[in-house]
Structure 1
Amino acid sequence: MSSFRERVQAEARPGESWDEATARLRGTSINKAVTEEAELADFFVSADGISIKDSRHFMDVALFRMSKRTRRAGEVIRYDLADGYIEVKAGPDGMASIWDYDIVLMLISHLTESMNLYKRGRGAMPGRLFTPYVSDILKFCQRGDGGNQSKIIESALDRLKGTTIKSVLNRPSHNSKCVTREVKSESLISGYRVLSETASGKIDRVEIEAPSWIYKQVVDSHVPAVLTVSQDYFLIESAIARFIYRLARRASGNRRAKWGFKTIYERSEVTCFKEFCRILRRLIRSDSLPDYHLYEEAGLSGPQLIMTPRSTEPGCG
């Protein structure tokens, strides 16, 4: 099976998806090894028409740093929750940024699409390996392909591999007063390797292994624990605006939701509350967030952020 995978990776044509390359090679040499390999395929489908997906379980905390300037190598961010806590731990290459996380969104999106195709009988059960071209990553994340983008992608993969998410949840036992402590720790990606390079030495194609927590949410869940994200998400330049959009998508959905400024600040990894409030109020005034209208409301414990889907506003159809 591994030899066939290597053959497909080596002989795939530029812009060709895994399914297209597999189908083409099947036509030239149909054998038992090909049939067995199709039972559990790497996942990659055409970049066109794929909706953006995100893991709904972690859309209300920042699993990444929000700053482009500070690497935060070796640092730990802790978010205290009602039933436990989450820690984001950075490796020696630095903590993954919210912009690095775009690659994880692409991974989740393509895994979800591959699983949907499998359920409709139009593809093989996806494995955990994601094999995109760097050009496909840049296209999906709506980035230009000039300059040193290839090197930027490799550095992002290093940070994603080195950033681990540790969740500790305290769950009451069913038949006793005892509390069960559930601890899980995984990286944002399990690993990666470079499959091919261009004649100029730039990375051409990579293999990314999805962590088990993402794979299980999409493949093993009866209802995949993912939410669709606006295609305009990648056009949001501000890190806080991106975080607020993810929070609105998770908390609001198709209805009104309310979060305290202080609570959002504590979940956003931003270091200065005064600066956070200034940026958040500027975002409210601009009213430019995709899908959601934001406004401020006074609350007993401080200012509140109200998030309302634009489709529910007066005059919207």
Structure 2
Amino acid sequence: MSKARIALDLKTREDFAALSLHEKNEYLQDVARRVMEARGQTFEPLSKEALSRLRRFYSRRSMADLKLEDTADEGLREALRRFSDAIRTSEVRKVLEHELPSAPRRISREPPADDAQLMFFVPSVHDAPVKDDFNLMDIAPFALSKSAGEGIIRYELKDAIITIEGGAETGLATAYDYDIVINMISFLAEETRQYHIADAKGLKPSLPPRTYRPAAAEILKFCRRELGGKQYEDLEGALDRLQATRVKITNLRSDGKDKGRRETEAFPLIGRYKVVSRTSQDRIDQIEIDIPQWVYEGVVKPHGKPSILTLNRDYFLIARPIAKVIYRLARKAAGDGEARYSLTEVRKRSGSKLPPGKFRQAIVEIVESAKVSPLPDYDLSLEDGKTDMILVMKRRLPASPLQAVAV
């Protein structure tokens, strides 16, 4: 979103100095109101401290250094005076912007061009299947960064210990890299759906293939990204990180027989991948991705329903990794109702490396942003708990039939 241009027409230093204290405060509050209205924000009056700082700054610049009385040329003298006022006006704007509450950052970005038409040609969006009764939607199987993450993420949950480890050279897969995993699972789920339809008709179809062969452009379109050169370059790096990132689950459940035994299994987010072809501009074109066994077995079930959840297509437009985590938690835990997590638990399940205080600040900011730029499907709010703040994720009421849009 572009910032609105604000014509403040600030008073000169001399005119401002002539005002009484009450008039100065009223004037500054009025300027603040105009700025916030231009931003589309609700006006919040400036505090006494902010007013005091603005009054001092507005008047403090001395014109003595210009020595206008020693300037014989009247035109030059007037030009210097206007120049001084212009500098002061610019600086007052900056100070005023600093004192005003900042506009909340949008949670989601705008969809790419031709997005509406493209959405008719992609299957439903699905996240990872349940693996040994453990759901990857309970945690973030990726780094909360826009570039490759470092180190190992360790989750200690009630029934399992999960570690997410990236490659030594590539680092951890990111939240944006993981969109490709969702793309792969979604197309496998659609192939499985078509298989069951054909099987019910007695056509004796073959099971879906264990290799996914998309074009790079198809992945970008599905993930609702632009089709620029940088997006194609980033895609290959994302595949490298996904192939190198491994999930390790140590199951702590006991069946009563082998109480001391712990079953551990490790698996990649994607299997082997191959760039089959490139364009004349040397951009990645056709891709071949081996679907990991844990994904294939979780989705392709000839007898039974796949253990996967659908996601809102707007998930791909969520621009902040922690907001992606919150949506996945809400979709898994709240479903069509409501879920509550302490901020300590959200931080634990997100894998965030932020100190608790800064993490809390980040969540508060997201909840405020969600009032202007809502999270898909769910409303967010914060409540005071006994020892911690509680994040409330509540399913938003569906649009009325007249407002609903078919996808």
| Equivalent of residue 286 in structure 1, options 337, 361, 369 | 369
Which residue matches 1:275?
A: 358
Cα displacement (A) at 1:69: 4.4
Cα displacement (A) at 1:130: 0.4
| Equivalent of residue 98 in structure 1, options 175, 194, 197 | 175
Larger radius of gyration: 2
Q: Identity over aligned residues, as a percent?
A: 37
Bigger share in strand = 1
Equivalents in 1 of 2:298, 2:274: separation in Å? 24
Equivalents in 2 of 1:312, 1:207: separation in Å? 38
Is 1:158 the equivalent of 2:244? Answer: no
Cα displacement (A) at 1:70: 5.3
Cα displacement (A) at 1:274: 1.8
Aligned residue identity for 1:299? G
Aligned residue identity for 2:166? A
| Equivalent of residue 297 in structure 2, options 216, 231, 235 | 216
Residue 289 of structure 2 aligns to a residue in which SS?
Answer: strand
Which residue matches 1:68?
A: 146
1:241-268, Cα deviation, whole Å (9 max, x unpaired): 1110001001000111111100110111
User: Structure 1 47/161 Cα, relative in aligned 2: closer, same or farther at 3 Å?
Assistant: farther
Which residue matches 2:344?
A: 262
Equivalents in 2 of 1:152, 1:99: separation in Å? 10
Q: What residue ranges of structure 2 are gaps of 5+ in the alignment?
A: 1-118, 130-134, 200-204
Which residue matches 1:89?
A: 165
Bigger share in helix = 2
Is 1:191 the equivalent of 2:272? Answer: yes
Which residue matches 2:88?
A: none
TM score, norm. by length of structure 2: 0.63
Equivalents in 2 of 1:193, 1:70: separation in Å? 20
Which residue matches 1:58?
A: 136
Which residue matches 1:14?
A: none
Residue 157 of structure 1 aligns to a residue in which SS?
Answer: helix
Is 1:144 the equivalent of 2:217? Answer: no
Residues 8-87 of structure 1: pairs in structure 2 closer than 5 A = 48-55=121-128, 57-69=135-147, 71-72=149-150, 75-87=151-163
Cα displacement (A) at 1:234: 0.8
Aligned residue identity for 1:210? I
Would the aligned equivalents of 1:171 and 1:179 in 2 still touch at CA under 8 Å?
no
User: Structure 1 188/257 Cα, relative in aligned 2: closer, same or farther at 3 Å?
Assistant: same
User: Where has structure 1 moved over 3 Å in runs of 4 or more?
Assistant: none
Which residue matches 2:259?
A: 178
Number of aligned positions between the proteins: 268
Aligned residue identity for 1:94? G
User: Structure 1 96/47 Cα, relative in aligned 2: closer, same or farther at 3 Å?
Assistant: farther
Residue 262 of structure 2 aligns to a residue in which SS?
Answer: strand
Which residue matches 1:107?
A: 184
Equivalents in 1 of 2:368, 2:149: separation in Å? 30
Q: What residue ranges of structure 1 are gaps of 5+ in the alignment?
A: 1-45
Residues 99-138 of structure 1: pairs in structure 2 closer than 5 A = 99-121=176-198, 124-138=206-220
Which residue matches 1:301?
A: 387
Cα displacement (A) at 1:47: 7.8
Aligned residue identity for 1:271? K
Cα displacement (A) at 1:151: 2.0
Equivalents in 2 of 1:223, 1:170: separation in Å? 26
Equivalents in 2 of 1:263, 1:230: separation in Å? 24
1:2-50, Cα deviation, whole Å (9 max, x unpaired): xxxxxxxxxxxxxxxxxxxxxxxxxxxxxxxxxxxxxxxxxxxx98141
Would the aligned equivalents of 1:173 and 1:180 in 2 still touch at CA under 8 Å?
no
Would the aligned equivalents of 2:314 and 2:376 in 1 still touch at CA under 8 Å?
yes
